Chains A and B, each alone.
Chain A
């Protein structure tokens, strides 16, 4: 009730207030109700406050800006109308003005105090601008030397840092490419900007960049006259060194760093800024590499010209590899160099063994390697990589099954079905590989799968269309039944080799490099088909096959060396790997029927065991196999001392294989039971010798080979002498085992000093 009454009274008050403009006293409104006076007073106060808030928006503003349109200390040339000041600095100020005659906005740079020197600067800055007719530079409309003013176009847009964080990486990179291109034009005219920083870059409404302020610009070769802005200026600008286009590139790189990371590059330890990838975790490696290449402390480590920078940015935008080296690997390599020196020192001081030195160096070498797309060489094994290559393998296996079913089992017939399967999938995979080039690992897996299916497609087409049906005599054909002729195999291999090499060269990846080298070996195998190696293998003429493979070994070794020299590591490494295994294969093939010793005139003439059991060929084979093992071990040792890191890598395979290569022939020989019992003991001693060598050389491969062969030798000896029938023999072995354990214990105590 009271509220309704109060509201009615307030209504009367409000009516009077608006009609007469006078406040009616509370006593007059309700003389009989003094208990309401206080509440009504409060409501009246609320009314005045509320009405004040609701209306009267034009109250004087205590913070109103200076209404005087032209400050007295500003003089504008001609009849320009002053609008506002848009910037100021040590040089003076920049104002925005309107040119009423042409009805356009202009920016006027006014120099504070005009000396003769500054008058000269004004003219030179205006001339620099006039010389550069590029959309990325301001157009100069006029200059007033006496008053110290340059009139330029006014860029209505944004400051770079105001919006750079809202731009995509692609937009940022394109912006940089535009600036780099503009800079390269300026450099081409012999002009250096000298003060590139975010504050001097504006974007117009179409987000096209403009490079402002040529106040510190100079002709190339002039004495440097300015310092630029700290954080964006190149080191040589501070040190008073000679400046050249690469000085501007440093500053542009610093601007790019700021755009990408949200802060200017601050020199950290060693003068290097924090890695952009740390400040912005998802930044692509390539963009980081480009930024860091610009920010190299030594001008010689930067891009050679602004054009190179532009091209590298465009390469990134096109999804291609950039020229700037992988920054992570570089940075790590730099950090690791100190450790590598330590390792050398430790070796000299005898703290570590040779092989440990090598092991440490290899491990550090692995760290400085990029995350490779080739699984065996990658520092990091990702699940997507595993699944992709599993997919490639299964797809290839399935295709081979289909191929086999079609051509050998003739489950399907005609050319259409397999051609569709192989042709469409191969073409689709290759197309996808090119389309998805930004997703590198996926693209490469697709490429590999596409290439692996290709020979099946070619062979199917050749056969179904009856091409290249030049028949060889049956001993020289891989398929005597005539399903495929050698010529068909050879042409298919050539085509696959060409395609895989082309893709490897284009993508520069190890995976495709390996496929290319593999297809090259395949090509060689098909080419030597005409020399009837299949028949040779059947007839046990292994050495002839081995000889046929020697040219391939030479080509791979020499090719690998040449490719490595030309920095084509993606082909050199698989070439070396193939050469290593081919070398082992050739040596073993040559050994298999003892031809090597025969050729060398060393064939065994004196029987060692019982004359009737002596097979000189077999004996020669065994001896050669042992020699091969030793030879390969020596070769491995030589490889580790070579300067080429790629060749050094191959030694590991040889080291792993040699102890087995040395011992296995003996085991084989003894198992034949054709020779003197002396061999049993020789085998046991050799095994123990290898085992002992493992401790001396610190090689696990020797250790495994030694233990395994020792047990094998004991088994042969036991069965040869039928010692299992006497309790003495097992007891001897057990006692020997116990003694060895005790000896091991003593050795341990000696080493640990008890």
Chain B
């Protein structure tokens, strides 16, 4: 758990306003978080919202509920962020589906960012985009919806098969099988 304790230390420093720690955290998780958000957004929301914008929101929410993460030691920090991201996107799609226009969403990305702390923006834009991760994202995006979702929920959000089964309205065993099949498919795509 050396990784987790390091993350916790970084988190504490960042919460106290240490900007170096904040930037370091972004470097560790930023690109992965953005990938997750892009995959999660789905066609109905893509183009309407900026993934970086959501990443900002996720991080701000995460910092304000950091206590919950520290109590719950079952998940990694990223999995915890991934679930916040999933919830944020779900709320967002509700807004869009019900036709309600949230004024906060209609401000341009630049305005929305400038209202917040500027280092967030620079840290995100300075991300060195991992080529391996980019390849993975392309492969995931090309897969059928249920394959992609089971992989995301199991490996990125670190949910149990029980949780996944209730979300997907299926049984634990069939989710496990679906996961194995999806993983094999992903490997075949990336292997080629």
Which chain A residues have a beta carbon within 8 Å of chain B's beta carbons? 3, 6-8, 10-11, 14-15, 18, 42-43, 46-47, 49-51, 53-61, 63-65, 67, 69, 81, 83-84, 96, 98, 105, 158
Which residue on B lies nearest to A105, using beta carbons?
A: B17
For the complex, what is the distance from the CA of A47 to the CA of B184, rounded to whole Å?
7
Contacts A14-B180, A58-B4 supplied; 11 other A-B pairs, CB < 8 Å: A3-B188, A7-B185, A11-B184, A15-B180, A18-B176, A58-B7, A64-B6, A64-B10, A65-B20, A84-B20, A158-B118
Stretch at the interface among B21-29, B40-48, B95-103: B21-29
Residue B62 interfacial (CB < 8 Å): no
Q: Identify which of B17, B77, B185 gathers the most chain A CB atoms within 10 Å of its CB.
A: B17
How many residues of B sit at the interface, in one of the four size bands?
35 or more
Residues of A within 8 A of B184 (CB): 7-8, 10-11, 14, 47
With known contacts A58-B76, A60-B6, A65-B21, A11–B180 Cβ distance under 8 A: yes
Contacts of A3 in B (CB 8 A): 188
> Are A83 and B16 in contact (CB-based, < 8 A)?
yes
Partner of A10, one of B16, B18, B188: B188
For B2, the chain A residues whose CB sits under 8 A away are 60
Mark each residue of chain B from 172 to 192: 1 if its CB lies under 8 Å from any CB of chain A, else 0.
000011011101111110110
Contact A50 B190 (CB under 8 A): yes
Give Cα A721 to B181, complex, Å.
Answer: 126
Could you tell me the distance between the alpha carbons of A64 and B28 in the complex, rounded to whole angstroms?
10
Q: Are A46 and B191 in contact, CB atoms less than 8 angstroms apart?
A: yes
B144-158 interface mask toward A, CB cutoff 8 Å, 1 = contact, 0 = none? 000000010001101
- The distance in angstroms between the C-alpha atoms of A61 and B3, with both chains bound, is 7
Decide yes or no whether B63 CB sits under 8 A from chain A.
no
Number of A-B pairs, beta carbon distance below 8 Å? 103
Q: Within the complex, which residue of B9, B76, B136 is in contact with A67, where a contact is CB–CB below 8 Å?
A: B9
> Does residue B133 face the partner (Cβ distance < 8 Å to A)?
yes
Residues of B67-85 contacting chain A, CB below 8 A:
76-78
Q: Which of A46, A67, A158 contacts B6 (CB 8 A)?
A: A67
A81 to chain B, nearest CB (A): 7
Query: Is the CB of B13 closer than 8 A to any CB of chain A?
Result: yes
Residue of B nearest to A10 (CB): B184
Interfacial chain B residues near A49, Cβ < 8 Å: 132
Residue B19, interface by CB 8 Å: yes
Measured between beta carbons, the chain A residues less than 8 angstroms from B186 are: 50
Q: Which residues of the partner chain A approach B120 to less than 8 Å between Cβ atoms?
A: none
User: From residue 12 to 61 of chain B, which have CB atoms closer than 8 A to chain A?
Assistant: 13, 16-21, 24, 28-29, 32
The listed residue (B77, B133, B183) touching A51 by CB distance below 8 A is B183
Q: What 1/0 flags go to B89-129 for Cβ under 8 Å of A?
A: 00000000000000000000000000000100000000000
Q: Which residue of B lies closest to A11 (CB)?
A: B184
- State the CA gap A10–B19 with chains docked (Å): 45
22 contacts between A and B (CB under 8 A): A14-B184, A15-B177, A15-B180, A43-B191, A46-B187, A46-B191, A50-B190, A51-B183, A53-B136, A55-B156, A56-B76, A57-B29, A57-B32, A57-B77, A58-B4, A58-B77, A61-B24, A65-B21, A65-B24, A67-B10, A84-B18, A96-B17
